[in-house]
Copies of this chain bind each other. A is one copy, B any other.
Amino acid sequence: MPKPVWPPARSWIAHYDRSWFTDDLTAGLTVGVMLIPQGMAYALLAGLPPVYGLYAATLPLLVYALLGTSRQLAVGPVAMDSLLTATGVGALAAVGTEQYLYLAVLLALLVGGIQLLAGVLRLGFLVDLLSRPIISGFTSAAALIIGLSQLPHLMGVDLGRSPYVQEILYSAIVHVPEINPVTLVLGLGGIFVLVGLKRWLPAVPGPLVVVGLAIAAVYFGGLFATGVSIVGEVPAGLPALGLPAMALTDVRALLPTALTIALIGFMEGIAVAKAVNARHPEYVVVPNQELVAIGASNIGSALVGGFPVAGGLSRTAVNDAAGATTGLAAVISAGVIIMTLLFLTPLFYYLPQAVLASIIMVAVFKLIDWREAVRLWRVDRSDFWMLAVTFLATLSLGIQTGIAAGVALSIGVHVYRSMRPHLAVLGRIEGTHTYRNVNRFPEALEEPGTLILRFDAPLYFGNMSYFEAQLESLLAERQRALHTIVLNAEAIAGIDSSAMYGLRRFVTDQRGRGVTVRLAGVIGPVRDAMKQAGLYEDVGRENFFLDVDQAVHNHCRTGYALQSNVP
């Protein structure tokens, strides 16, 4: 495995091979060209003028190229972050105001600060709390919300802004009579061309073609007079560098949104970076360094007046497919945007907003994943319900509530399972020294006078009373002839002080009734904890055994149990 260096870019700069350059150049140009319409579209989605999407596609890419551990991840404006920005900032200021612009920049700064701090504190593991069903349900619902949020641009009607799908749909239906027909035709046309190109000419950069066709149609067809909304003047030149003033009340108001974007944006990026990394064993994606890199990129976005950025799914896939070998590809993409800002902004004057909306819709609707829901219904009903709850909560209660509900539910189910774990009475499979669940293996027979039990969870405060109750009821059935209880502890991965207390009491109680309790296959960390708490003395050192067979026959094969197992 390659050794990490700092900054991570040194690992490829130091050994840059000239043969890589053509691939990096092709990939960088391709992604840069994709970024022009996407950046403008996502700025619109975030409630900002399109040029801010180009700003956010400059410095952040350079910062990530320097600090990121993935060599293919394409950072920049992404749909999810943009929608969350619109929801979070939209609740505090009106679209089009100075205050809105200021809050969007402040949000990027906060997201960056949170991610940077989380990376330094090595909190990257928190992203593991998002299970696949949660991510799937959440992504499908968010894609639906994002897609539907483009209806006003497609219809050419102001529907007001709402993060709830039921309100968007209701408003859209009410406003059908006001539809601007030319706008609708442009938007639907854009969707058809994008879908058609993707299917029959996948090598052609659809968004760029659609943008070109639409500008030509508006300019030469004189469609402006029909009331079609166009992008209008895109300011030329590079953004000024500078950070926004940080008013404490604004920081506090934006904090929940910033935390959500920090988590979601990181999750999206790390997932795609890891997927791509699987095909590139020459480097390793380091989650905590990724947090630092994407955090610094967001601070970079705030520096150039941009909004929150993340590693994007589709552009990364294109970057990798086009042959990106190092971060140089991202530097070249940023160069394309910088050139566009300097020289090409007048070209976009007549670009209809409806076409940007069609680009967003086509991009997000393919993220809706019905198949995963159907598959889970078949193979894992409990995970299906988590997906369904997250999906419905996100749709009806909003993105933040949806993801919070999903995470809370999945942690709750995980904790509940560990509170009521599986346990099995074991019997010896005839003619072997192997012991298995008597309810599943008809050949496994219980030893006379001995109850052999396997408990499949760490013993802790949450399941100790369940463990005791289950044991009591098993004992009640067998009480008469019992002289030994063997606890197969191989699956007991940990033990806390509450469980230690309960176990001590149980062993003592049983001893009072003339029953010996033996522990088999206790794993190392649990042995350490028991030793520390003095449980060896309560249970009796002679009652620890390497495995169930030795415990049943009270036999320490070659003396290992006392020499090593119980140090």
Residues of A within 8 A of B (CB): 1, 125, 128-134, 274, 278, 376, 378-380, 382-383, 410-411, 414-415, 417-422, 424, 429, 431-434, 436-437, 440-443, 454, 456-458, 460-466, 472-473, 476, 490-491, 493-494, 496-498, 500-501, 509, 523-525, 529, 532-534, 546-547, 557-558, 560, 564-565
Contact = CB atoms under 8 A, between A and B. Distances in A.
A429 B472 CA distance: 36
Given A422-B493, A456-B493, A473-B1, A532 B379 contact: yes
B1 A129 contact: no
B417 A415 contact: no
B432 A558 contact: yes
A298 to B, nearest CB: 23
Contact of A497 (B1, B376, B525, B529): B376
Given A424-B523, A434-B546, A564-B440, A461 B493 contact: no
A523 B501 CA distance: 28
A461 B137 CA distance: 15
A419 B127 CA distance: 11
A560 B534 CA distance: 40
9 contacts: A131-B462, A131-B498, A134-B461, A414-B460, A429-B560, A433-B433, A436-B565, A456-B491, A456-B523
Nearest to A546: B434
B132 A498 contact: yes
Q: How many chain copies?
A: 2
A457 B418 CA distance: 10
Given A128-B466, A441-B564, A461-B131, A496 B383 contact: yes
A122 B312 CA distance: 46
Nearest to A439: B524
A418 B494 CA distance: 9
Given A125-B466, A432-B558, A524-B422, A497 B383 contact: yes
Contact of A493 (B421, B442, B496): B421
Contacts of A431: 558
A524 B429 contact: no
Contacts of A383: 496-498
A133 to B, nearest CB: 6
B380 A533 contact: yes
A482 to B, nearest CB: 15
B490 A1 contact: no
Contacts of A466: 125, 128
Contacts of A420: 125
A414 B422 contact: no
Nearest to A564: B441
A47 B557 CA distance: 67
A155 B379 CA distance: 68
